[in-house]
Copies of this chain bind each other. A is one copy, B any other.
Amino acid sequence: MLKKKKNEDNSEPCVKKQIQFADQKQEFNKRPSKIGRRSLSRSISQSSTDSYSSAASYTDSSDDETSPRDKQQKNSKGNGDFCIKNIKQADFGRREIEIAEQEMPALMALRKRAQGEKPLAGAKVVGCTHITAQTAVLMETLSALGAQCRWAACNIYSTQNEVAAALAEGGFSVFAWKGESEDDFWWCIDRCVNVEGWQPNMILDDGGDLTHWIYKKYPNMFKKIKGIVEESVTGVHRLYQLSKAGKLCVPAMNVNDSVTKQKFDNLYCCRESILDGLKRTTDVMFGGKQVVVCGYGEVGKGCCAALKAMGSIVYVTEIDPICALQACMDGFRLVKLNEVIRQVDIVITCTGNKNVVVRENLDRMKNGCIVCNMGHSNTEIDVASLRTPELTWERVRSQVDHVIWPDGKRIVLLAEGRLLNLSCSTVPTFVLSITATTQALALIELYNAPEGRYKQDVYLLPKKMDEYVASLHLPTFDAHLTELTDEQAKYLGLNKNGPFKPNYYRY
């Protein structure tokens, strides 16, 4: 019934699987949304993977090939309501979580501030996200705020087994391991939801699979559910479709488009990861290089600023005249791709569009030109057009292919056209912290909202909560906010605690 493609190889565990609802396939073939939103925070940081790998290797011997589903599992307190790879990794996982805690001060502050009032007392949260140290900090925060949690993984490869172990040892009902089969995947989700004597009243989803499962199998459950918090482009798109079709039966919060989260996922993250991704894969020197960046949205702005600062000469292509004018005013020549394609050393796509770089462009590039994608999906570069007999592919490093033309010309293709910054760089914990805090506040908001504030529709996080996410991260920078005086607040017609801007404010 449901078709699920496995990732081709283990080298890229963070690429979201492409599970689709069979009966909605037609609809989902459309592009998720009009702007190329991205959800970096859905990936796990390479550092986590690194440390996991080392951990994995030392525990390999104690691992066996039995499926976790076939094993009897109990933690040290005798609790067995979970299903993970190996409970013995709990100590190591705990250390990982403790390190993550130090880099996620916003959630720790939230635990402290909300300790007295327990804003999630009574909340029964079922979650389906990547299971990483950062997620563990989120789950333990929700717990500290009063919630009960049951959790499954939203990706069959992204679970950090030792973190799952630590969570299970800590009493959480976690159902996830690295390398689940498709059947395992849905079994885990079902184990989270289908429990005797426990029924969720909040959903935290990343991709929409959990939501879909409940819709399909336990539609009655929605009677007790107060809301859904969804953070992925795909999941949000599904919710809007449901809403449009009049089938959304509880309020949903789209946290993907929160201001703070967007700025960090796109502008600030990509400003650094474009350099990092290019260096790790190609060791290219940026100074003096000619680069064309396709698309001048938040991602493009970040890429352009970083490369300009490193001494590259940057050209921009755009379809939107307002963004185009911004590129001009920021000091970039606005060109059509063909005007510069013969002379550039690096081509970067960040449009959210498809076939931005096509075979005709690739044919005209000069020898050694690097081609990569920082945009929404793997559609921007027409990689398929390079799979023709006269071109030779040579894998020179992980994530780096040389595509060789008959005359010897080589194009350096990175990550086979998939997202460079997810494949070849890392997402800083600080960015993940912004996302997790946004999720926690969205849960609090939906759970505590007075009757009638939210209808059966998709909402953005209220600006005041968005501002609160930002304010919780200011101490990291030893940043000191100014408070309005009463007189000033009156003059501005504002509440001293915000929100400080109208909804349409552009930041």
Contact = CB atoms under 8 A, between A and B. Distances in A.
Interface of A: 30-31, 34-35, 45-47, 50-51, 102-103, 259-260, 262-263, 268-269, 271-272, 275-276, 279-280, 282-290, 305-306, 308-313, 317-337, 339, 343, 352-355, 367-368, 379, 396-397, 425-426, 428-431, 466-468, 470-471, 473-474, 476-485, 487-488, 491-494, 498, 500-507
Contacts of A337: 482
B286 A343 contact: no
Contact of A319 (B259, B280, B323, B483): B483
Nearest to A367: B102
A470 B321 contact: yes
Nearest to A467: B321
Contacts of A328: 287-288, 311, 474, 477, 479
A51 B308 CA distance: 30
Given A275-B275, A306-B310, A470 B325 contact: yes
Given A259-B506, A272-B279, A322-B259, A311 B285 contact: no
Given A46-B283, A47-B283, 7 more contacts: A31-B491, A263-B325, A268-B329, A283-B426, A287-B330, A328-B474, A354-B488
Contacts of A280: 276, 279-280
A271 B283 CA distance: 14
A488 B502 CA distance: 33
Contacts of A260: 322, 325
6 contacts: A268-B311, A285-B431, A289-B477, A319-B481, A320-B498, A355-B485
Contact of A323 (B480, B488, B507): B507
A44 to B, nearest CB: 11
A268 to B, nearest CB: 5
Number of copies: 4
A309 B308 CA distance: 9
B479 A353 contact: no
A335 B480 contact: yes
A334 B501 contact: no
B354 A329 contact: no
Contacts of A336: 480-482
A165 to B, nearest CB: 19
A324 B492 contact: no
Contacts of A287: 268, 271-272, 328-331
A477 B288 contact: yes
B501 A34 contact: yes
Contacts of A275: 272, 275-276, 279
A354 B327 CA distance: 34
Given A310-B272, A491-B354, A492-B352, A503 B504 contact: yes
B504 A288 contact: no
Given A326-B263, A466-B322, A428 B283 contact: yes
A470 B322 contact: yes
